[in-house]
Amino acid sequence: MMEKNKQILVLGLDGAGKTSVLHSLALNRVQHSEAPTQGFNAVCINTEGSQMEFLEIGGSEPFRSYWDMYLSKGLLLIFVVDSADHGRLPEAKKHLHQLIETNPIIPLVVFANKQDLGAAYHITDIHEALALSEVGNDRKMFLFGTQVTENGSEIPSAMQDAKDLIAHLAADMQ
Ligand SMILES: Nc1nc2c(ncn2[C@@H]2O[C@H](COP(=O)(O)OP(=O)(O)OP(=O)(O)O)[C@@H](O)[C@H]2O)c(=O)[nH]1
Ligand SMILES: [Mg+2]
């Protein structure tokens, strides 16, 4: 019998772009989300030879209490932030650190999203704002600058790179 795949968790504050990124990764085409996620959003992505199961949990207040519960069962954590929402970066940082505290080994992939916006912080500033140097020495951690631009266009190469990396990490963790 095949073992059930563990899920790749996609978390981050409401409006960060989790659904948009996830659907774009699935289609290899840019696809903006139409509405906030009310609860859970499960997406399956096939890559050469493997199938990955992603689980987004909505980022607005009522759904955040579920984040912790799923983290212990997750294979990887993808944390998405809105790089242009400077005011909420401290809140994003707080939640990220609370989350990873409960799981010292889960690999972390951070998407510094909305890099297309003029106000977006560069990834080096996001690294600093989220205190990513403090995520733990034994943890694999990666940071990508991402952007979800015009619907239907090809996904940027950084997103393709992130997808390839996630597939490798997931295969290593199974
Ligand atoms: N300019 C720009 N807008 C983006 C980008 N990514 C997402 N958006 C927009 O940001 C808004 C929120 O995107 P979602 O993907 O719904 O965000 P989410 O993180 O899934 O939000 P919740 O499901 O509520 O937790 C939508 O209007 C998207 O079209 C991006 O890279 N650049
Ligand atoms: Mg969503």
User: Could you tell me if residue 1 is inside a domain?
Assistant: no
User: Could you tell me if residue 145 is inside a domain?
Assistant: yes
Task: Tell me: pLDDT of 148 over 50.
Answer: yes
Shortest CA distance to 108 belongs to which of 10, 20, 3, 37?
A: 10
Mean pLDDT over residues 61-68, rounded? 94
Task: Convert the pLDDT of each residue in 98-133 to its tens digit.
Answer: 999 988 889 999 999 999 999 999 999 999 999 999
User: Could you tell me if residue 70 is inside a domain?
Assistant: yes
Residue with tokens 């987004």: 56
User: Could you tell me if residue 2 is inside a domain?
Assistant: no
User: Could you tell me if residue 85 is inside a domain?
Assistant: no
The structural domain count of the chain equals 1
115 is in an annotated binding site: yes
CATH code of the domain containing 12? 3.40.50.300
Distance of CA 84 to the CA centre of its chain: 16
User: Could you tell me if residue 24 is inside a domain?
Assistant: yes
152 is in an annotated binding site: no
Which residue's alpha carbon is at the smallest distance from atom 14 of ligand 1?
Answer: 17
Mean pLDDT over residues 156-171, rounded? 94
d(CA 157, CA 15): 23
pLDDT at site 5:
65
Q: Which atom of ligand 1 is nearest to the CA of 113?
A: 31
Which residue's alpha carbon is at the smallest distance from atom 3 of ligand 1?
Answer: 114
Structural domain including 130 reads 7-79+91-173
Ligand 1 contact via 83 beta carbon (within 6 Å): no
Distance of CA 54 to the CA centre of its chain: 10
| Rounded (5°) CA angle 54-81-70 | 40
Ligand 1 contact via 88 beta carbon (within 6 Å): no
Report the residue among 32, 96, 114 best suited for mutation to probe ligand 1: largest number of ligand atoms under 8 A from its CB: 32
Ligand 1 contact via 33 beta carbon (within 6 Å): yes
User: Could you tell me if residue 118 is inside a domain?
Assistant: yes
User: Could you tell me if residue 64 is inside a domain?
Assistant: yes
- Complex ipTM more than 0.90, yes or no: yes
114 is in an annotated binding site: yes
